[in-house]
Structure 1
Amino acid sequence: MPEREPSITGYLTLGLLAGRDWSAYQLAEQLGRGVSELWPSADRGRYAVLNRLHSAGFVETRQEHTGKRARTIYSITPEGREALAAWLRTPVRPPTVEFEGMVRVLLSDQGSLDDLRATLARTREQALANREMFARYAAFISETGGTFPERKHLFALANTFMIGHYEHVISWTEWAEQQIADWPDTVAPARTHGGQVHDMLAPGREALAGDQATDW
């Protein structure tokens, strides 16, 4: 692959600039508006990516003055548009999950039952807050067309996924809280709750059986 190929954050930035010109601050604001929940690293590389895109010739800059203050405005170049279009034709990588709460669940045998309960409760609170955020985005797009009215049909696809994702997290935390309700601690259930563990794994076994049936 070319050495100057953008990162996913770079492609996100090019996608924003494909619709209109932005300042660095405006781009950073847009990347943080729901995008960081979809692609967390976008939140960490908001500003540095612009320098790399500029060095690669994918964006160009100009100065705009408001009174005595000047700001740099970024525009996508024809090469930038070509790079973005070429990337959209490549095979997509499989989705991944960056989920600290789940990592803590996996390691909960090294902590207390109260720690596990707190992790589930906090995860649910976060999911509720994020679901509300995307619900507000949906209302904003429905009422105004959104910041990118020419892409509202695409934003609707993504918004529905994100709402469903957070609803799944909320449902899972509530289910998990019920599962651990009679656990004495976070260690013993591996020995004392074999039947419950078997039942919890039923969806996985059913999914495998369904996949195997489809293969036939």
Structure 2
Amino acid sequence: MSKERILVIEDEEDILALIHYNLAKEGYQVAGAISGEEGLQRARQEPFDLVVLDLMLPGLDGLEVCRALKNDPALAPIPIIMTTAKGEESDVVLGLEMGADDYVTKPFSPKILLARIKAVLRRRSEGEPAAAEEVLRLGELVIHPGRNEVLVGGEPVELTFTEFRVLHFLASRPGWVFTRYQIVNAVRGDDYSVTDRAVDVQIVGLRKKLGPCGKSIETVRGVGYRFKA
């Protein structure tokens, strides 16, 4: 049985070749693109299970590619792992805010990238068939883990994968206070490095999208966040 199909968008051909070699060695089906424009074209023409996206691309840069993918209903479910040489918080936060699932900073070990890819694909596969998980009903807010669906007053709310995981984690334990580190650890795993600012971005996005129900996500100064019981 063939493994997942992965699209690697990377303008440095030696890095592209290295990533391609290591992913293919693990059994993944790999396609490459050396520009944002080419990557978007391939993503629209062929089915992929994950995209490895360099942020520092000439022309159409990685953030623009990420935005285009997440704004396309047919492509939005595809998980994205960003790679960046800059390691700047602003780039990471923007990418995560757009819906990217993870990131690695160059130079990186192929083993680290492989571990992140496996973790993201595993989280995705585990999230899809979770129909047996209990549906959470909290006033006007309904969270359906099996369908990755959120309703407010009976109306669906479009959340990114990460926003959904954060909301489900907090709402399933109303009244409990969690630090940013605990939230990241629960949502992405303890091998994931992220800034406090990136967690705050997810919370801001959730509050905005949930409308009045967003007030249930409370900031506990000096500690973290909780979902109001």
Q: Compare relative contact order (CA 8 Å, sep 6+) and give the higher one, 1 or 2.
A: 1
For Structure 1 versus Structure 2, the TM-score category normalised by the shorter chain is under 0.3
Q: Which has the larger radius of gyration?
A: 1
Indicate the structure with greater helix content: 1
